[in-house]
Structures are given as C-alpha cells and as structure tokens.
Amino acid sequence: MRTDTARTIRLKDYKKPDYTIKKTDLTIQIFENYTQVESTLHMHKNPEVVGFPVLQLNGIDQQIQQIQLDELVLTESDYQYEDELLTVQPGKDEFVFKSITHIKPNENTSLEGLYQSGTMICSQCEAEGFRKITFYLDRPDVMSVFTTRIEADAKQYPILLSNGNPVEQGELAGGRHFATWHDPFPKPSYLFAAVAGDLVRHDDVFVTQSGREVSLRIFAEAHNAHKTDFALDSLKRSMAWDEKRYGREYDLDIFMIVASDFFNMGAMENKGLNIFNSAAVLASPETSSDDRFDRIEAIVAHEYFHNWSGNRVTCRDWFQLTLKEGLTVYRDSQFTADTHNATVKRISDVDMLKAAQFSEDAGPNAHPIQPQEYVEINNFYTATVYEKGAEVIGMIHTILGEALFRQGTDLYFETFDGQAATTDDFIGCMEKVSGHDFTQFKRWYVQAGTPNVAVEESFDANAGQYKLTFTQSCRPTPNQPEKRPFVIPVKMALLSEQGKELPISCDGDFNSDTSVLLLKEATTVVTFSGLNAKPVASLFRDFSAPVTVDMALSDQDQMTLATKDSNAFNRTNALQSVFVEVIRKLNADIDSAIPESVDELIKATLGDGSLVDAVKAQMITLPSFAVLRTMFSPINAQALAFAREKLKRHIAVTFAEQWQQLANSLASAQPYEFNAAEAGRRALHGTAISYWVSSGQVEAINFAEALYRAAENQSDRLNGLQAVLSSDDQERSEKLLTHYYRQWKDDTQMVETWLALNAGQKSFDVAQANALMAHEAFDLTNPNKVRSVLGAFASNFEAFHAGEVGNYQFIAEQIVKLDQVNPQVAARFTKVLESWRVFTEDRGVPMKQALEMIVSTDGLSPDVSELAMNALK
Ligand code: 0A1
Ligand code: ZN
C-alpha cells in the first residue's frame, strides 16, 4: 500500500484535527509469522467543526481483517484504504472506531513500527511509526490514554512490556500468556512502545523528592545482560538532578529501559518504557571507553529528561521538534557539565556543533531549527534541530540568567502540562517571567545559516577608550537569500596583558551581572572607557552564541588569550585558532614554516599546573578534519590532509621526550573508575601516546602495542590500539586487529568497535570496505554495523576524501542498496556527498556524479530522494 508520491508538509497549513481519540485500547497478539493488532479508539469530534468530515486515519502496510464503526462492521465499500490513509465516514460526535489488522514485524527492516530485533520484538514510533502498527491519527496533537494488552508465546517471549503501569498478567491456552499495561497520562502515538522478548531484568528503586517509590528496571537480551549497572546508576542520578535543578519529579510507579541491538537512532523516550540502542546503554569497563561511558550517561539522562520536556509537555506538530529536542539536549548538557567538568563538556559540545551543525548550515540541506516545510520528517532529526536548538535555549539562559530562566521553565511546565505546545508557548513563558521582549530573538527559530560576526577594535590612548565594532552577516541558505539581524549575546571580558579581568564600563547594551553584551543591529559599536592601556578582548566566552567570529588579533594578543584567558573555553579556542592558521598556511604551501608560537603554546599548556588533564588534552589535540573542513573553501582534501599531518608530526617530534614521559607517568595504576579526573588522565595519556607514536620512534609503537595487550579496560586498550593503527606499521596494525576480533568476537559492542576501527584506518579503501561488508560480523540490516563500516569510512577524511575518488561511487551504491532495507539510515549517508560544491573539482565532480547516480535510481524512498535532490539543486 506504500506509494512514493512525496508530499511537502508546511507549517503554515497546520490545522487542528477534526477528531480526537480520548481512549485507545490495543490488543497485540504476536504469532510466529505475523502479529494481529486489534485497536479500539474512543473518538470525539472537535466541537468547533461543523458537519461530519470524513475520518482519515494513517496506516502503512496494514492487512485489514476488520473495520468497525460502533457496532457496525464495515464492508469494503464502506471504507477506502489508499495512499497510506484509511477513510471512513462517521456520523456522530462520539463514536468507537475499531480495526483488526495484521502486520509483519519479522519482515520490517525499516525498524519503524513493530519490528524484530534479535530474539525480541520491539517498537519505534517517533516520528510516524505508529501508523505501521495500526490505523491511527498519527500526529502529536492527538493525545490519548492507552491501555495495551500483549499476548505471545510464554517461552519465546516471557517478558511483555508497554507504557505505564502493569495492571494484569496471566496464562492463556496453548502455552501463551498476556500482560496488560495502562498509561494514565494522555500521550501522542509517537510515545507508544511495546516489547516482547526473553530478557534479563536488572532492578533498582528510586525514591522521589516527595517520597514515592519508583521501580527501575533495565531489560537486555542474555548476551548483553552484564552491562546494565552503569545505565541504572546514570538513571538514578538523572532523576535526582532533574528534581533539584528543574523541580521535575517522575510520575509513574515504574520506569523501564530496554536495550535493543537493532535501532535506528540512539534511544527513544517512550513514556515509562524507553527503548535504547544497545550501544547507547550497555557499558562495562572491559568493553566501553570513557567516551562511551560519557555518551551513555548523557543519553540515559536525555531520554529521562524527555519525561517532562517532550512527554508531559509534548509538541503540537513536527515543526515544533526543537521545542522538545533543543530543550532536552540543553538539559542533558547541563547535567553532564554539573556531573563532571563544565569546561570539558562545553569544549566537546562546541566541537561537535562546529563539525556537524556548521556544515549542515553551510550546505544545500540547511534549515532553521524550526523548519517551515519538509517532505520526510525523519530527515529533520538533525544537528540543527537538536544541537543548534540547544544553543538557542542556552542563549535564552545566557540573556536572562539562572533565576529567571528557571522561573520560565517552571511556568512552561506548569502551564502546558498535558498539552501539545509550540516554541512560541515556550518563549511566551520566558517573556512573562522576565518582561524581556524576545520578538527579534525569535529569528533564531526561522532563519537558517551560521551568522558571522566581524569584530574590529581600536584604542584611543588619550581618551582611555577602547572601541569594538561588531558587524554581523549571514550567508544565504536555500529559500532564504537575505537574513535580518539576529540578537547575539556576547559574554565577554576585557583582559590586561597579564590576563587579569578589567572592570567594564561601556555605552553598549551590557549587563554587568551576567557580563553579557547584546548585539541587535547589523553593526554595533561599543565604546569602553576608563582604560589606561589597550585591553585584550575575550569575546563570546563559553561560546555564548552559535556564530563564527572574524577578528584580526595581534600575535601578542593571541598569545595572551591562548595562555592566560581565565575563561578556559576561550583559552582553548584561542589556542585552536593558532593551529587552524598554521594548517591554513601549510594547506596553501606545505613548505611554509611552522611558527615558533606553536612550540611555545604546547610548552606553556603542558607546563600549566592549573589546567586539568582533560582540558589539556583538548587544548593540544589538533582540530579534527570534521571541524577543519568547515573553515576551508574550497577544500583541497589531499592538501588539507598533508597540512594537518605535517603539523602533527612537528609537534610529535619537537616534544617527543615529553610525550614519552607522559605516556609513562599517566599510565593507569588503580582499577578502572569512570569519573572526570580519571577519564581526563586517560584522555591526556591517549593524546601523549598518539603524538609519541607519530614522532616515529620505535619505542613508542612498542609501548602502544604493549598497552593494548596489557589493558584491563577499553580506554587503555583503545589508547594503545588507535595509536598503532594511526602509524605506518600496517603489519602490526593488522596483527592487532586480528587479535582484537578473535578476543572479542562474541561481544556485540566490541565487534561494532572493531568494524569502526578497521574503517577508521588511514589506508582504508573500497576493496577493504567490500571485504568488511562480506565479513561474518557484518549485517546490512543492522544500523550499528552499517554505521560502524560506512559511517566510520565516510568520516575518515584521510581515507574517504583524500583517498581514491571511487569512494564516492561506492558510497552511492551502498546508499541505494541500503535504501531498500532501511530508508531512514540510508538517508543519513546521503549527507556525506552533499558538500560537493565546497571541494576542489577533483573531488567535487565525482561527488556530484555519485549524487546524480542516486537520484536517477528508480523507487527511491522519500527519505533519500529529498536529501539527494536538494543536494543537487
Ligand atoms: N526522540 C529521540 C530520538 C529519535 C528520533 C527518531 C527516531 O526514529 C525516527 C528514533 C529516536 C531522542 O531525541 O532521543
Ligand atoms: Zn531527544
């Protein structure tokens, strides 16, 4: 019944639904080859609507057994099922719609709706997956109270779960059993979940601030069951944090997490029953690196926080996606910052924003955090909606300060509890509590593109006045040739040459409590007075706005910022800018000299006892290709790869002795513990080993191999292994990879990592990719495996872009093949090719040809065709 007529959905066409569903009763009967879904919907006509419009319910791949309106069983001539819509004609204000349909979870490789994941059956309904389970008004502004009964074979599926609280369970004839769940909180269908499986359960309890006991349960298949401790602990800490920081208490009697090996994204916040990608929840020191622990903790928190920002207050329509995602990403980043180290978190978040979101903003699929139209909503789960959305929330916080921001969120949660809200509703609350006018600020929601702020400075020694001129601009993005000025908060300080913060007195819109200067015009001139020497401006502290900044600084000022700025984020940023400029020069001329400032900065950073290890590691690590490529136009892939490599080798060789010393002194002594200090130590250890190996010393690579072999935790293991893999010693690399696989081939997460390590090698190519995809460990229907190979290859700049140009054709072929299996995942890979205009022709042309090949393929999903066609426009 699926047709490929892609339709454009527009925000301006939003209309309230004609009918709503007060109560939803489902009976899901799982059988060997199919599942029967019986759905009883208690429907009401919207009182504002005159007459009786036809009722159109969404439904995909539904094999109809019976359709019934109240007591009347409809015949085929009484309803119509085409274009994924079932149309019936009701004649009453209140009625019951009932359908019995069959679906096939075991044939559902899209992993949307109800599908088989290993030995279990599970669901994924956001954004529009529920329509693959049964006929429904599958839109977030239709909120209903769900009661769900699941029936299945008792041996094969001893665990049966759905949203809410358990109400009944029992045995049935023929070795079958059932469980009934009731969720008292009205919710949209995208938050529905059902799970059936043979799962191992890990229990705990959380007592809420008002003294209620909540049962916590994590479920996993037996092979994954030993890795749930950390997620459970993260969950409890998240629950406590949300009470303290946002006053948000959990509401049901039970909170469950299920780990699934087959999952399109990271995880899903279904009410009371979160379903997670195994890779985003299962952790153990033996198999998970610090980065993985970090990510798991953040995702557990993120999904939990959605219980309020997303579930209790949900979105009116999918154009409001950033309402729940931007806010929840912001909340989870605050949680991580509070739990570990705020500077470390900010540096890595901004890095990620630059890598993933700035590139999106600069490309043909650029969209504002609130897109105005879409063809396939799944294509809008982007870094823009999520991460830039979080930056926008962060700017509101920066502008209002902590107390007002918290009053605003309190008002928002109270006012819109149980409702489907809009981004305007959220801003309205912020305006109400503060009296601040956010009208102009709201441009951040509707204008795409990364604004650039050019800053010029001048100093009048006689008058003791320092003047800053800020000029903002934003390049055109699709359908938006011109932008109006944004409100840009500049958190700032003026520093003496010794890095001391000077008192600020100025004529700008400056708030001295928050140290925030607001820019509102295309050009803003601010004069600072009472200064007896030219200060050094530390602007956009903690990255106070998602913008790029151009400011020509003297070498001396640059050094002051990179060695003395009291804002560690800005200090890091200043140091990284020095690296970028050197790489820029080497990119233009590989023989250009590397300035001494690089050596001075590395030396000063390594020797600075005030910096924690984690920040030191972040400071001295060269900017990634993902970040660098957003700063170059055109990108000459090979020149860029050589340039970065040359700078790396220079630093490696110059400080070889220090790297060796750090490699030895930072080695792990005690058993693995995941905390900020320990993870920071291991991060710096890894950085030192990586540089040391890059210096070419044989002792270094021996050290790395020994570390790999002796490691008792995955972070140490990867610190050793990755250093070997980045060396030119191919033989040793292969030997270790073979050893790794042999050792860990029965561990799903370790195998995924192994695939990614292979595909992350500098010399990786199409032949190796084909071999890896033919390996027993690979499975095209498993998104994690696909991401581990194709994702890792495509983000391996040196192999993918600086390697053979045939890589582009290869990825295009894989996209087309994958599209038949899982359109949502396939579509994500088309983004790899969309930046073809930015590359020099040797790469740009074959990238474009690869896109053309995709677009000329028959039967493409709307997911892939929307992104690929836009990329060629
Ligand atoms: N809401 C989830 C992410 C998510 C979105 C879409 C999905 O399938 C199309 C799955 C998960 C989150 O923000 O974590
Ligand atoms: Zn989310």
Domain ranges for the chain = 9-283, 313-446, 452-545, 752-873
CB of 267 sitting under 6 A from ligand 1: yes
CB of 144 sitting under 6 A from ligand 1: no
Specify which residues 547 forms β-bridges with: none
CA distance 867 to 829: 10
Tens digits of per-residue pLDDT, 264-279? 999 999 999 999 999 9
Flag whether pLDDT at 688 surpasses 60. yes
Ligand lying closest to the C-alpha of residue 190:
1
From the CA of 267, give the closest atom in ligand 1: 14
Ligand lying closest to the C-alpha of residue 123:
1
Specify which residues 21 forms β-bridges with: 43
CB of 376 sitting under 6 A from ligand 1: no
CB of 269 sitting under 6 A from ligand 1: yes
Q: Which tokens in the block code for residue 309?
A: 């920002």
Flag whether pLDDT at 499 surpasses 90. yes
CB of 265 sitting under 6 A from ligand 1: yes
How far, in Å, from the CA of 323 to the mean position of ligand 2? 10
CB of 303 sitting under 6 A from ligand 1: yes
Specify which residues 88 forms β-bridges with: 55
Helices (H), 607-636: 613-620, 625-628
For the beta sheet containing 80-82, the strands, ordered from the edge strand earlier in sequence to the opposite edge, are 55-58, 85-88, 80-82
CB of 123 sitting under 6 A from ligand 1: no
Give the pLDDT score at 655. Answer: 98
For the beta sheet containing 488-491, the strands, ordered from the edge strand earlier in sequence to the opposite edge, are 488-491, 516-519, 510-511
Task: Provide the 3-class DSSP secondary structure of residue 157.
Answer: coil
Q: Which tokens in the block code for residue 795?
A: 């983000």
From the CA of 325, give the closest atom in ligand 1: 13
How far, in Å, from the CA of 254 to the mean position of ligand 2? 20
The protein residue whose alpha carbon is closest to atom 10 in ligand 1 is 265
How far, in Å, from the CA of 785 to the mean position of ligand 2? 22
Give the pLDDT score at 829. Answer: 98
Architecture of domain 313-446: Orthogonal Bundle (1.10)
CB of 696 sitting under 6 A from ligand 1: no
What separation, in Å, do the N-terminal and C-terminal C-alpha atoms of the chain show?
Answer: 30
From the CA of 378, give the closest atom in ligand 1: 9
Sign of the C-alpha dihedral computed for residues 280, 284, 288 and 290 taken in this order: positive
CB of 378 sitting under 6 A from ligand 1: yes
Question: 819 φ, ψ to 5°?
Answer: -60, -30
How far, in Å, from the CA of 338 to the mean position of ligand 2? 19
Ligand lying closest to the C-alpha of residue 191:
1
Flag whether pLDDT at 1 surpasses 50. no
Tens digits of per-residue pLDDT, 407-446? 999 999 999 999 999 999 999 999 999 999 999 999 999 9
How far, in Å, from the CA of 302 to the mean position of ligand 2? 6
Could you give the count of Cα atoms lying within 13 Å of 527 in the half-sphere of its Cβ? Answer: 8
Question: 267 φ, ψ to 5°?
Answer: -170, 175
How far, in Å, from the CA of 823 to the mean position of ligand 1? 15
CA distance 732 to 510: 58
Ligand lying closest to the C-alpha of residue 126:
1
Flag whether pLDDT at 543 surpasses 70. yes
Phi-psi sector, 733: left (phi>0), alpha (psi -120 to 50), beta: alpha
CA distance 52 to 31: 38
CB of 118 sitting under 6 A from ligand 1: no
CB of 126 sitting under 6 A from ligand 1: yes
How far, in Å, from the CA of 124 to the mean position of ligand 1? 8
- Non-local CB neighbours of 788 within 8 Å, separated by 6+ positions: 752, 753, 755, 756, 759
The protein residue whose alpha carbon is closest to atom 1 in ligand 1 is 268
Give the pLDDT score at 836. Answer: 98
CA distance 34 to 407: 50
Confidence of residue 512 (pLDDT cuts 50, 70, 90): very high
From the CA of 329, give the closest atom in ligand 1: 13
The protein residue whose alpha carbon is closest to atom 5 in ligand 1 is 126
CB of 275 sitting under 6 A from ligand 1: no
Flag whether pLDDT at 849 surpasses 60. yes
How far, in Å, from the CA of 267 to the mean position of ligand 1? 6
CB of 381 sitting under 6 A from ligand 1: yes
The protein residue whose alpha carbon is closest to atom 12 in ligand 1 is 268
CA distance 649 to 694: 6
Q: Provide the residue type at 436 as one letter.
A: H
CA distance 23 to 45: 13
How far, in Å, from the CA of 192 to the mean position of ligand 2? 15
How far, in Å, from the CA of 572 to the mean position of ligand 2? 29
The protein residue whose alpha carbon is closest to atom 3 in ligand 1 is 268
How far, in Å, from the CA of 282 to the mean position of ligand 2? 19
CB of 329 sitting under 6 A from ligand 1: no
The protein residue whose alpha carbon is closest to atom 8 in ligand 1 is 126
DSSP 168-201: EEEEEGGGEEEEEEEEEEEE-GGG--EEEE-EEE
CB of 298 sitting under 6 A from ligand 1: no
Pocket probe mutation, ligand 1, options 126, 257, 322, 784, max atoms within 8 Å of Cβ: 126
From the CA of 303, give the closest atom in ligand 1: 14
Architecture of domain 9-283: Sandwich (2.60)
Give the pLDDT score at 59. Answer: 98
DSSP 219: E
The protein residue whose alpha carbon is closest to atom 13 in ligand 1 is 325
CA distance 12 to 608: 55
CATH 1.25.50.10 assigned to 752-873 = yes
CA distance 65 to 38: 9
From the CA of 129, give the closest atom in ligand 1: 9
Same fold, 313-446 and 752-873: no
Specify which residues 267 forms β-bridges with: 276
Specify which residues 276 forms β-bridges with: 259, 267
Tens digits of per-residue pLDDT, 168-202? 999 999 999 999 999 999 999 999 999 999 999 99
Give the pLDDT score at 3. Answer: 38
The protein residue whose alpha carbon is closest to atom 6 in ligand 1 is 126
Pocket probe mutation, ligand 1, options 299, 381, 828, 863, max atoms within 8 Å of Cβ: 381
Give the pLDDT score at 2. Answer: 36
Residues annotated catalytic, as ranges: 303
Give the pLDDT score at 283. Answer: 98
From the CA of 386, give the closest atom in ligand 1: 13
Tens digits of per-residue pLDDT, 795-808? 999 999 999 999 99
Give the pLDDT score at 5. Answer: 54
User: Which residue's entry shows tokens 């044989």?
Assistant: 698
What's the CATH fold of domain 452-545? Immunoglobulin-like (2.60.40)
CA distance 232 to 203: 8
CB of 819 sitting under 6 A from ligand 1: no
How far, in Å, from the CA of 762 to the mean position of ligand 1? 32
Tell me the average pLDDT across 594-615. Answer: 98
Give the pLDDT score at 6. Answer: 73
DSSP 417: T
Pocket probe mutation, ligand 1, options 131, 265, 306, max atoms within 8 Å of Cβ: 265
Task: Residue 551: count other Cβ atoms within 10 Å of its Cβ.
Answer: 17
Pocket probe mutation, ligand 1, options 114, 258, 268, max atoms within 8 Å of Cβ: 268
Specify which residues 95 forms β-bridges with: 43
Average pLDDT over the chain reads 98
Give the pLDDT score at 273. Answer: 99
CB of 264 sitting under 6 A from ligand 1: yes
Ligand lying closest to the C-alpha of residue 328:
2
Tens digits of per-residue pLDDT, 574-592? 999 999 999 999 999 999 9
How far, in Å, from the CA of 16 to the mean position of ligand 1? 24
Give the pLDDT score at 4. Answer: 46
